[in-house]
């Protein structure tokens, strides 16, 4: 999906060219200054191939949830539906992220389809590219707006 690449881009402004296939949780923190206040956000980046069940207790504790799929793969959005069917969620704000929008010619999920999915699940929707940096600032701003 590009979760680790996206987080890297959000937090450092750079994108690691070769992220490793991940098992377990990767933590990253970000400090943001906004109108005189300082915020610290701790991200939990969960490996996509892991059994999601083992993260249930963590997911319940999150202040905000990001669901990342890749716009060049319709099965990646199906996977999010499967997760939503299984995982008990709290009332924290949720953002659906359609990543890899730089792959214009390989696109399988339209903006409209993803927006409908987001509305259905009470999520905000945003499209990004961790590769070229599209909308990363917008995503950071949205996250902060929803948290404060």
133 binds ligand GTP (CB under 6 A): no
Give the C-alpha separation, 14 to 130, whole Å.
9
> Do 128 and 98 touch, CB atoms closer than 8 A?
yes
Contacts of 140 (CB under 8 A, 6+ apart): 10, 30, 32
Give the C-alpha separation, 17 to 32, whole Å.
25
Interface pick for ligand GTP out of 32, 62, 80, 102 (rule CB under 6 A): 102
**Pattern of binders to ligand GTP over 46-65, x per CB under 6 A?**
-xxx----------------
Of 22-30, 82-90, 92-100, 120-128: span binding Mg ion (CB under 5 A) = 22-30
* Least distance from ligand GTP to the Cβ atom of residue 37, Å: 30
* Least distance from ligand GTP to the Cβ atom of residue 106, Å: 9
> Do 96 and 69 touch, CB atoms closer than 8 A?
yes
Q: Nearest to residue 96, comparing CAs of 28, 76, 145, 47?
A: 76
Q: Which two tokens stand for residue 135?
A: 């909308």
Q: Which two tokens stand for residue 70?
A: 């890749």
71 binds ligand GTP (CB under 6 A): no
Q: In the range 80-99, which residues lie near ligand GTP by CB under 6 A?
A: 99
Q: Nearest to residue 90, comparing CAs of 60, 53, 133?
A: 60
Of 19-27, 77-85, 88-96, 138-146: span binding ligand GTP (CB under 6 A) = 19-27
* Least distance from Mg ion to the Cβ atom of residue 4, Å: 3
Q: Under the rule (CB under 5 A), what is the footprint of Mg ion? A: 3-4, 22
Q: Which residues bind ligand GTP (CB under 6 A)?
A: 1-5, 19, 21-22, 47-49, 99-100, 102-103, 129-131
């Amino acid at each position: 999906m590009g979760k680790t690449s996206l987080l890297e881009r959000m937090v450092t402004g750079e994108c690691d060219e070769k992220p490793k296939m991940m098992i377990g949780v990767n933590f990253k923190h970000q400090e943001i200054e906004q109108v005189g206040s300082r915020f610290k956000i701790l991200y939990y980046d969960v490996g996509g191939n892991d059994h999601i069940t083992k993260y249930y207790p963590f997911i319940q504790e999150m202040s905000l949830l990001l669901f990342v799929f890749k716009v060049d793969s319709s099965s990646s959005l199906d996977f999010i539906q499967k997760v939503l069917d299984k995982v008990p969620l709290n009332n924290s704000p949720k953002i659906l992220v359609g990543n890899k929008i730089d792959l214009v010619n390989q696109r399988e999920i339209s903006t409209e389809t993803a927006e409908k999915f987001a509305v259905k699940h009470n999520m905000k929707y945003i499209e990004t590219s961790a590769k070229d940096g599209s909308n990363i600032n917008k995503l950071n701003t949205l996250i902060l707006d929803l948290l404060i």
